[in-house]
Amino acid sequence: MSTKPVSPCFLFTVGTGTAGRHSNLAQGLVNSILKTPSHSVVGLVPSSSPDSVGIAELVIEDVCIRRKDLDISIVARFSNPDGLLTCRREFRLLLQQLNQAGRGELTVNPTSGTKQMTAAATLACLDEGLGRLAFITGERADGVVKTGTEQLQPVDAARLLAEQRIRAALILLEHGDFAAAARLSSLAGNFFPFATAATATLAEWHRLNYAQALRAASGIEDLAEARRSLDRLRAAPEFSIERGADMLALAERELRFDRPEEALSAVYRAVELLSKARLCELDCPPDQWFAENLIRRFNPDERLRKDLLSMQQANPDKPLMLGLVKCLTLLEPDFALAKLDRDHRDILRQRNETRFGHGGNSVAPQDVDRLLASVRSRACNQWPEMRPLLDASRFPTLAPLIRKELDHE
């Protein structure tokens, strides 16, 4: 069953006056409308003033005589041609109605009318992400297009909309909402490839999805340094100082963007990763975490011995799943992170009472900041290579490069 093709739709705003001795407004609009494709639907949008409506009616009369194939009518009226916000709201409503009615490809020509009408129509198109823009150009005299020389000059509204989205994504990026920035940038099409790649890279990196972040950064010269860091992180074992440093950098970001509970959870996980990395450095990888082996290697106190043996009885043939506290206890007293003072350990334990543990409590940002500083300092003392690893895991500053791409024509 064949489907009847949908006719293209054109909207023209309609002003008043003659615009000069070389130009006739009504005739100029007629000449422009006559250049539309056959069987187009043409909607005129004058203001509510009698003069503007009268010009629209003259245009309709002339076009109907000369182009029988066009479906032309007045489809809306601006109630206040001098009110930018009112015109914008009314034109947005018109675009929404046309979209819901299933009109064909829409082109808006906002050339005629008050400056508020033309600006409002342009803004409404960007607001709704609908159609294309076209302006009437031609030979000029007295500052206006001479009647009979009119040409329709299309403007890629899709690019303007994409730019609008990238600017909004920049605001999200600068407030640490990496995922939302990436989603918004992905809607910008192919106009801003660096912005799309950069925001996707940071969003996936922040999720610790190193492989996907590498794919997003692939082939982008300005992301070469980020790729090197991501490649190193992807190749690193789960329990490694590389992964621990990256988790500390994540905690720094969360704290910087006023998310202390997320930051505390990341610090907790970083201490756990680094503790397990230290066990691996001592030739005690996860596949050797059996109670008897751990007791023989680290000679823990009686209480921890009993805990380890009890855990092993539940799963005699499987290595133990060691939590943070047990790892730190096993590594005492020669591990820097096991020497956190009581105040910092108390802050660390607060993670269990947040939504990232088993409760719903909030935490004080200044407490998390003190804990993070202590953990970072102790980790750097334990491993001389920790400081450059931390630097490599801190996100590059990409906003200036995104702005540069936006400003490039």
User: Which pLDDT belongs to residue 408?
Assistant: 81
* Domain limit, last residue, from 114, 129, 155: 155
Domain region containing 298: 236-393
The residue whose two tokens read 């050797």 is 288
Question: In this predicted model, what pLDDT tens digit does every residue of 245-262 receive, in sequence order?
Answer: 999 999 999 999 999 999
| Same domain, residue pair 33 and 121 | yes
The answer to whether 55 and 25 are in contact (CB under 8 A) is yes
CA-to-CA distance for 74 and 60, rounded, in angstroms? 8
User: Which pLDDT belongs to residue 138?
Assistant: 52
Residue 403 lies in a domain: no
Residue 90 lies in a domain: yes
CA-to-CA distance for 378 and 51, rounded, in angstroms? 79
| Same domain, residue pair 29 and 75 | yes
| Same domain, residue pair 170 and 302 | no
* Percent of the chain's residues with pLDDT above 90: 76
| Same domain, residue pair 164 and 92 | no
User: Which pLDDT belongs to residue 139?
Assistant: 59
DSSP string, 336-352: GGGG--HHHHHHHHGGG
| Same domain, residue pair 213 and 266 | no
User: Which pLDDT belongs to residue 146?
Assistant: 58
* Domain limit, last residue, from 102, 126, 155: 155
Confidence band for 99, pLDDT divided at 50, 70 and 90? confident
Query: Based on C-alpha coordinates, what's the Rg of the chain?
Result: 33
User: Which pLDDT belongs to residue 409?
Assistant: 58
Residue 388 lies in a domain: yes
Residue 231 lies in a domain: no
| Same domain, residue pair 51 and 138 | yes
Residue 405 lies in a domain: no
CA-to-CA distance for 169 and 188, rounded, in angstroms? 10
Mean pLDDT, range 377-387, rounded to an integer: 97
Mean pLDDT, range 118-136, rounded to an integer: 80
Question: In this predicted model, what pLDDT tens digit does every residue of 261-303 receive, in sequence order?
Answer: 999 999 999 999 999 999 999 999 999 999 999 999 999 999 9
Angle between helices 241-256 and 386-393 (to 10 degrees): 50
Q: Is the pLDDT score of 22 beyond 50?
A: no
2-16, 105-119, 148-162 — which one is most confidently predicted on average? 105-119
| Same domain, residue pair 34 and 57 | yes
* β-bridge pairing 132-137 and 106-109: parallel
Question: In this predicted model, what pLDDT tens digit does every residue of 313-371 receive, in sequence order?
Answer: 999 999 999 999 999 999 998 899 999 999 999 999 999 999 999 999 999 999 999 99
CATH code assigned at 27: 3.40.50.10770
Residue 123 lies in a domain: yes
Query: Which has the higher per-residue pLDDT, 111 or 45?
Result: 45
Which residues, at least 6 apart from 226, have a Cβ–Cβ distance to it below 8 Å?
201, 205, 213, 217, 396
Residue 283 lies in a domain: yes
User: Which pLDDT belongs to residue 137?
Assistant: 61
| Same domain, residue pair 137 and 173 | no
- Residue at 157: amino acid letter: A
| Same domain, residue pair 172 and 23 | no
| Total-model pTM | 0.82
The residue whose two tokens read 């054109």 is 10
Mean pLDDT, range 149-160, rounded to an integer: 70
| Same domain, residue pair 340 and 245 | yes
User: Which H helix or E strand runs over 237?
Assistant: none
3-class secondary-structure state, position 64: helix
Residue 265 lies in a domain: yes
How many independent structural domains does the chain possess? 3
Edge-to-edge strand list for the sheet holding 71-74: 71-74, 41-46, 9-14, 106-109, 132-137, 151-155
- Specify which residues 12 forms β-bridges with: 44, 109
CA-to-CA distance for 119 and 337, rounded, in angstroms? 61
* Domain limit, last residue, from 123, 155, 187: 155
| Same domain, residue pair 376 and 323 | yes
> What angle (nearest 5°) sits at the alpha carbon of residue 177, between those of residues 174 and 183?
110
| Same domain, residue pair 80 and 209 | no
